Amino acid sequence: MFGADVDLVKVAGRTLSAEYLKGADVLLVRSVTQVNDALLAQANQLKMVGTATIGTDHIDQASLDKRGIPFFSAPGCNANAVAEYVLSVVFSLREEEALYNHLTVGIVGVGNVGGRLQQRLTALGIKVLLNDPPRQAKGEQGFVSLQELLSRADIICCHTPLITDGDFPTYHLIAQEQLAACKAGALIINAGRGSVIDNQALLIALDERPDLQVVLDVWEHEPRLDESLVNRVSIATPHIAGYSLEGKLRGTHMLRSRFADIFGEAPPAAFPSYLPKAAIHHVHVSDEVTAKALIRLVYDPYCDDRALRASIGYQDQATRFDRLRKHYPVRREFESLVIKGLAESQLSNTLKNLGFTLELA
């Protein structure tokens, strides 16, 4: 992606230290690298810092500001992937019939990810409740309080950033009191950041409230997991909700574009030109097929769940967690699968609203 005149040095994200940045012009990271005063201490000529992620809680932006170093993240890059992770989980753990007719999904944090999820659920005809105090404070309508959402939602999806200060902090936003307030039989999904849910309170709540079901993609103190919590949740995955190939490439492409801006280069080729054809790029189906089966064909969260469960119980659990993420298999987004053979019907509409590409018979 970079030209021959760029000297590219690859360093393991968790072990990058200050001396590597002496003489570096650009620092590109992912979420495991803490960019702070300590790391930047010897950075004498940095002209750009970029993270190919949506989340920015690993970046001390004040530290970059005071040094006048421009910072870029990749807003929205993997929002589809996370929304599809949640849809895959929901269609795995809840019957389609109940989902459409009786269940309400609550979304806490309605930004790029939560908004994408809201769009797809609404298009599918599934009821949603939204909670986003910062948006509400700007005068936007259509939100409910966290308390109301927790007491009414059958499925609670957490998509806030991790924020530790200010008017709307999210650190331990869901703690003992909030867990006690959840509706009977609720399914809680966290694909935001681990510490948005107090994991110790969650462990206790799972004892006190066996009716609750929990799915965690993100964990407090990653990469070191509380193995007792892994054993108590219904689906446990290693922070891969956003790991579609499209999501990763989009993030990289966004940073490549910022790099071109900063260094006065021509912009890179348009993003889709980088995407290979999906390994399974079309299927012919009959009207006996289910949405759940097609979702599982593209992404089955139980594969990640099995891999994570097989990685615990070892002294080097944290290394195994990182390895699962580093060597994650290619996963594509729903749009990459062309579904053929269906006539216009309720099923074809559902599949279209889920995000698949349809070629109607």
Ligand X SMILES: O=C(O)[C@H](O)[C@H](O)COP(=O)(O)O
Ligand Y SMILES: NC(=O)c1ccc[n+]([C@@H]2O[C@H](COP(=O)([O-])OP(=O)(O)OC[C@H]3O[C@@H](n4cnc5c(N)ncnc54)[C@H](O)[C@@H]3O)[C@@H](O)[C@H]2O)c1
Q: Annotated catalytic sites, by residue?
A: 193, 222, 239
Size of the site for ligand X (CB under 6 A): 9
Q: Is 55 in the site for ligand X (CB under 6 A)?
A: yes
Q: CB of 325 within 8 A of CB of 239?
A: yes
**H or E, element range at 180:** helix 176-181
Copy the structure tokens of residue 354. 């889920």
Q: Residue 55 or 301: which CB sits closer to ligand X?
A: 55
Amino acid sitting at position 196:
V
Q: Smallest Cα–Cα separation from 233: which of 249, 221, 248, 219?
A: 219
| Shortest CB 324 distance to ligand X, Å | 11
Torsion, Cα 133 135 140 143, to 10 degrees, reads -40
Which option in ligand Y, ligand X, none does residue 131 bind, with CB closer than 5 to 8 A by kind? Answer: ligand Y
Figure out which of the listed residues 21, 26, 27, 31 binds ligand X, where binding follows CB under 6 A.
31
The reply on whether position 34 binds ligand Y by CB under 6 A is no
Q: Is 30 in the site for ligand X (CB under 6 A)?
A: yes
Round to the nearest angstrom and report the end-to-end CA distance of the chain.
Answer: 40
Could you say whether residue 32 binds ligand X (CB under 6 A)? yes
Q: Is 53 annotated as a binding residue?
A: yes
Q: Which helix (H) or strand (E) holds 224?
A: none
Residue 215 is a binding residue for ligand Y (CB under 6 A) = no
Is the distance from CB of 300 to CB of 84 less than 8 angstroms? no
Stretch that binds ligand X, among 30-38, 143-151, 263-271, 302-310 (CB under 6 A): 30-38
Q: Which is nearer to ligand X, 198 or 322 (CB)?
A: 322
Q: Which of residues 237-256 bind ligand X (CB under 6 A)?
A: 242-243
d(CA 121, CA 115): 10
* Cβ burial, residue 273 (10 Å; 0-12/13-18/19+): exposed
Is residue 194 involved in binding ligand Y (CB under 6 A)? no
H/E element, 200: helix 199-208
Q: What is the DSSP pairing of strand 213-216 with strand 235-236?
A: parallel
Min separation Cβ 134 and ligand Y, Å: 4
Does residue 331 touch ligand Y according to CB under 6 A?
no
| Nearby residues of 112 by Cβ (< 8 Å), 6 or more positions away | 54, 75, 76, 79
Nearer to ligand Y, 82 or 351 (CB): 82
Please pick, from the candidates 84, 198, 217, 246, the single residue that binds ligand Y as defined by CB under 6 A. Answer: 217
Q: Name the residues that contact ligand Y, by CB under 6 A.
A: 54-55, 76, 78-79, 82, 108-114, 131-135, 159-163, 168, 170, 173, 191-193, 217-218, 239, 241-242
Q: Name the residues that contact ligand X, by CB under 6 A.
A: 30-32, 53-55, 78, 242-243
Q: Which residues does the annotation place in the binding site?
A: 31, 53, 132, 160, 217, 242-243
